[in-house]
Structure 1
Amino acid sequence: MVLLLAAGGAVAYRWKTDAAASLVPAATATPPPPSAGVPSAAVSRSPRPVTGKINPDLDNLSLQAICTASGVEDDAWQPKFACDGDQTSRWSSAFEDKQWLRADLRRRWELTTVTVTWERSYAVSYRVETSLDGKAWQKLYATAKGKGGSVTIPANGRVARYVRMFGLKRVNQSGYSLRELEIR
């Protein structure tokens, strides 16, 4: 004779040797206590730490990035020119305050520094932000007193796939003009 119980069910089947099956009431199953290895809904697990590839040689990661922008002044000043390692080329944005340049590093990296190098048309107010997915952004640096030039921002091992400069206020009526977005 074989006795089968369905989990959580109230009916069991008993198989007799004469091939006739009959229904018999089953005992009510009691769930095991939480200490028996069954995770409880109240138990929380620590999130796995986010990791990124280490850049031991401090290579300029933006040289291999895909750079895009919210707008561009002209074809001669495309976003890629701010990620090419050439201080004589540049990206020039549309002539509006809220403009951004974004570098997709193609994988997650542990960052050391981010350097923005401005041309004469710089941002007075801007943020440098990082993201793992290109949607949720975390502030790495912000200022409302930008003076142009070259600004190096410590990243202290922040893990990111995306880095962007988000301009909020221009110094003049031209667009933002960024010679280089260097990411190490």
Structure 2
Amino acid sequence: MKAAGPVELGEGKSSAPRAGVNRGMAILDFILRILAFIGTLASAISMATTNETLPFFTQFIRFRAEYNDLPTFTFFVVANGVVSAYLLFSLPFSIFNIVRSKAQNIRILLIILDTAMLGLLTAGASAAAAIVYLAHRGNVRTNWFAICQQYNSFCERISGSLIGSFIGVVLLMLLILLSAVALSRHK
């Protein structure tokens, strides 16, 4: 009696290697989601806990810089929080794609939601990047002074927070591309 091997699917393609590649892509999807979750959550926490106080002439008069002094930074924190919550809640769907690598409806749903979250995260990170640029460089024409010479710790934290958010943007783009490739392989 002959041992059963992979089932042939026409044009010499077998189902076993294709299923293995699909499962590998689903595992990569899961890992990228975890990394994006960590990046966006760290960005939200880092920005939300950023503040610095500088003494002015006396110890009773102080200048304080906080993230919520600028609505753009508040939007940044909310956007990163929403995206990190979405990424956390999308992990079970990603696990479902690992178990059932041929499921297409879940991948289509994830592509749509990933694209919406990419737009939200890009908007928040881009708006915050403009403010961070002004904080570092200022604008001589409008008499906006660079505050990072005085608020070093504040500027370092908001800049670091931006890096984590833009890493999340790149990872979401990779997730969308990965899901699109996985869907195109189901033909």
The TM-score, its normalising length taken from structure 2, stands at 0.26
Relative to its length, the structure with more strand (as a share) is 1
The TM-score, its normalising length taken from structure 1, stands at 0.26
Report the structure number with the largest CA radius of gyration.
1
Relative to its length, the structure with more helix (as a share) is 2
Greater relative contact order: 1 or 2 (C-alpha under 8 angstroms, separation 6 or more)?
Answer: 2
